[in-house]
A and B are shown apart, each in its own frame.
Chain A
Amino acid sequence: MADGSRILLVEDDPALAVEIVRALERDQWPVDHVASLGEAFEAVILFPYRAILLDRRLPDGDGIGLIPAAKSRASPPSIIFLTARDDLADRVEGLDAGADDYLVKPFALEELLARLRAACRRPGQATRPAPIEVARLAFDPGTREVRSGGRAIALPRRELALLELLVRRAGRVVQRGHLESELYGLDVEVSANALEALVSRLRRRLEEEESGVELRTVRGVGYMLQPC
């Protein structure tokens, strides 16, 4: 990572700090560590950090106190606070104070790195969305192009819309009510079987194309797209 992505870790627990620093350095992030709010103020004034990992419970005060100072910099760093409390009120308080994200201890390393990457590219870096892939099926959210094993598939308008809704939430259940209102709108009276007929057409098509995905019905709830 470039020098413009230096990170400040504010954490008073020495063991946790050592582990985070070690993990970040393994992933090539340059990182400074301070253990108190006072040192953190100094560090923020001395160096334009890209992101700050901020513990809230510090020996000389609440980490939230650092946020206004950090945000007053010319290019303000992203702030991710680390909390041992996953109370809703606690998180809202942190986000309201100006933090960009939060992580609840204990967190997985993968998650920490993902949040850091997200925080560092956030301002105005709208990248082109990558195609969503499930098994051999690929859906490009930009062009709405569907491919199975590299082969383009043409789908009727409604089936394509249904596939888009399902593929964007692949591996999770999309509820009937949501599908109906998205596909048919709120004011059109939908016959009870319309959605089911549409689903079975799409299901047959996905099978024919050997896309390697199946469209499962969760009775009473909705549908889910998943690899076979």
Chain B
Amino acid sequence: MLRRTPSLALRAVLTFTSVYIAAIAVFLAIVIVTDDPHRDPNSHTAPKIALSRAAEDLQRTENGLRMKRDGGFAAMASRNPALWLIARSGDSAFSVGRVPEPVARAFEQHGLLIESGRFYVPGVERPLANAVVERRRVGSGSILLAVGGVDPGTLGSGDSLGASWGEGILVILTGIAIVGFAAMLIALPILSRALRPLAAEAASILPRAPARRLDEDKAPRELLPLVRGFNAALDRLASELGRQRRFIADAAHELRTPLAVVALRVEALEDETDRKELRRGLGRLVHLVSQMLDLERLSLSSRERSHVDLAALARDVVADLAPTAIKSGYDLSLEAPDSQVIVTGDPHAISRALTNLVGNSVAHGGGGGQIRVVVGSDRIIDVTDEGPGVPAALQPRLFEPFSRGTSNAEGCGLGLHLTREIMRAHGGEVRVVPRQGGATFRLSFAAPEEEGRT
């Protein structure tokens, strides 16, 4: 599969490169326009370039100085008929073109004293009169060079750039490019690190905490539109979720009055058998409706919370359910530590979660044997029966609404689902613990919250 995730790094590199190239182009344009040697008759740029070329192309041999025939200077000389050059290294001298007499003489007499200079050759028209003299290192020795008679019109703009900014310009430009890329490579991780807390916050927004939002104060200003958009999307989802929950609750409420009518009619029936059967069916309907309401009420995390002692709570639940369990043929027992086991939550909802588990064991525990409720000091409650256990095929959907075992026992289609929703709202979980013979359902709770947090 082809995966294309647009990379910020790639885009940044492309942007940087194009901006960099554009900047260089503008810079070059300015240099060329302002430094045009054609404009300034006093510019010595042209002879300077010629001198640099000559210094590159001159070679010292046993027979004295020699000029490369196919070098830059030779090319320049072919375009400039008036070009002249005189070079001297120790005893050997070399000249090209018609060297003006005063220059030749000055070389002869003061050659050892001159380091560099610029001058005009008298009697020659500008700009051809411009000339430079300079001592250059060539190999182990030095050569004194004088060049003149160069027509600036024959020079390219590259020549003039090199002359006015030196050959170092390329190095500088390359350096800037490297520094730029390096800065970008360092900046990108910083940018993604700035995103990390937001991503973590977004990951903590779960169905049980639908009211949480990304903190706009903590977001970098540049990312604010994204954060706001994200929060607004969550708001829309939450309001839709709320509407659906309210619909379920309203529907359940609306069912109550007609159910009351049917209940009274059933009581008025003459036939005893009919009445019993209808009463049973009605009982299930009423149970389901109240479970739908409980689902809406108990699984919301916005309810008030307090510190709850799981040991005492389990004792109350077991006491409440013991008569039913005993009547159904079970032996119900509780094991709890003597000390308190504190969690934070809604005691009514937690009781309901545990009641549903014990009720589930009574319904599906095989009709006999032990049902043990064990409270651990690590905030765990296990409910274990000795029935046939949970069929493997049923396990994946066990906590979904209306998923019921094949057994014909009076079902609580929403019971285990309600337990899961309550546990989620409390930051805990319910699961089936694998076991030989029978079934164990485990409630595990999060550590209690500190005082002052809601």
Binding site for B on A (CB under 8 A): 13, 15-16, 19-20, 22-23, 26, 84-87, 104-110, 171-175, 216, 218-222, 224, 226
Partner of B264, one of A16, A85, A172, A216: A16
**Complex interface bits, B359-400 against A, C-beta within 8 A gives 1, otherwise 0:** 000000000000001000000000000000000000000000
> Of the candidates A15, A23, A104, A216, which one forms a contact with B326 in the assembled complex, judged by CB atoms under 8 Å apart?
A216
Tell me whether chain A's interface is mostly helix, strand or loop, or mixed. Answer: mixed
Interface residues of B in 292-334 (CB under 8 A from A): 293, 297, 315-316, 318-320, 322-323, 326, 332-334
Contact of A173 among B258, B268, B282, B319 (CB under 8 A): B319
Interface size class of B (residues with CB under 8 A): 20 to 34
Q: Which of A22, A84, A171, A226 contacts B257 (CB 8 A)?
A: A84
A-B contact pairs, 14 of them (CB 8 A): A13-B261, A15-B261, A22-B264, A84-B256, A84-B257, A86-B293, A104-B256, A105-B256, A105-B260, A106-B263, A216-B326, A218-B322, A220-B315, A220-B335
The reply to whether B264 and A222 form a contact with Cβ atoms under 8 Å apart is no
Q: Chain A: which residue is nearest B252 at the CB level?
A: A84
- Which residue of chain A has the shortest Cβ distance to B264 in the bound complex? A19
Q: Which residues of A contact B293 (CB under 8 A)?
A: 86
Question: Are A172's CB and B265's CB within 8 A?
Answer: no
Q: Which single residue of chain A is at the shortest CB-CB distance from B253?
A: A84
In the bound complex, CA of A62 to CA of B185 (Å): 69
Please name 19 further chain A to chain B contacts, defined as beta carbons within 8 Å, in addition to the given A20-B264, A104-B256, A171-B323, sorted by A numbering.
A16-B257, A19-B260, A19-B265, A23-B267, A105-B260, A106-B256, A106-B261, A106-B262, A107-B263, A108-B263, A109-B264, A173-B318, A173-B322, A175-B316, A219-B335, A221-B333, A224-B323, A224-B326, A226-B326
On whether the beta carbons of A175 and B315 are closer than 8 Å, the reply is yes
Q: Which residues of chain A come closer than 8 Å to B373, judged between CB atoms?
A: 220
Among A20, A104, A110, A219, residue most surrounded by chain B Cβ atoms (within 10 Å): A219
List the A side residues contacting B297 at CB < 8 Å.
87
In angstroms, Cα B282 to Cα A20, docked, is 17
CB nearest to B265 among chain A residues: A19
Contact status B326-A219, CB under 8 Å: no
Which A residues are CB-close (under 8 A) to B260? 16, 19, 105-107
| A16 contacts across to B, CB distance below 8 A | 257-258, 260-261, 264
CB of A137, distance to nearest CB on chain B (Å): 17
**B327 to chain A: closest CB distance in Å?**
9
For residue B179, give the distance in angstroms from its CB to the closest CB of chain A.
68
- B residues engaging A (CB < 8 A)? 253-254, 256-265, 267-268, 282, 286, 290, 293, 297, 315-316, 318-320, 322-323, 326, 332-336, 373
Q: Find out whether the CB atom of B268 lies under 8 angstroms from the CB atom of A22.
A: yes
Q: How far is the CB of B98 from chain A (nearest CB, A)?
A: 115
Q: How far is the CA of A221 from the CA of B247 in the complex (A)?
A: 40
Q: Which of the residues A87, A107, A224 comes within 8 Å of B322, measured between beta carbons?
A: A224
- Name the one of A19, A23, A85 contacting B253, with C-beta atoms under 8 angstroms: A85
Q: Which residue of A lies closest to B317 (CB)?
A: A221
Of the candidates A107, A110, A216, A221, which one forms a contact with B318 in the assembled complex, judged by CB atoms under 8 Å apart?
A221
Q: Are B257 and A172 touching (Cβ within 8 A)?
A: no
| Residues in chain B near residue A174, CB distance under 8 A | 319
**CB atoms of B319 and A218 under 8 A apart:** yes
Q: Tell me which of B256, B282, B373 has the highest count of chain A C-beta atoms within 10 A of its own C-beta.
A: B256
Query: B365 to chain A: closest CB distance in Å?
Result: 16
- State the CA gap A51–B132 with chains docked (Å): 126
Which residues of chain B are near A20, meaning CB under 8 Å?
264
A15 CB, min distance to chain B CBs, angstroms: 5
Nearest CB in chain A: distance from B239 CB, A: 22
- Tell me whether B318 and A220 are in contact (CB under 8 A): yes
Q: Most chain-A CB neighbours within 10 Å: which of B282, B326, B336, B373?
A: B326
Could you say which of B256, B259, B265, B318 contacts A218, with CB atoms under 8 Å apart? B318
Chain B hits for A22, CB < 8 A: 264, 268
Report the minimal beta-carbon distance from A88 to chain B, rounded to whole angstroms: 9
* Distance in Å: Cβ of B206 to nearest Cβ of chain A: 26
- A13 / chain B contacts, CB cutoff of 8 Å: 257, 261
CA distance A93 to B30 in the complex (A): 85
Q: Which residues does chain A contribute within 8 Å of B259, judged by CB atoms?
A: 105-106
B258 to chain A, nearest CB (A): 7
- Distance in angstroms from B388 CB to nearest chain A CB is 24
Of all chain B residues, which has the CB nearest A55?
B257
Ranked 7 nearest A-B pairs via Cβ: A220-B334, A219-B333, A19-B264, A106-B260, A173-B319, A106-B259, A109-B267
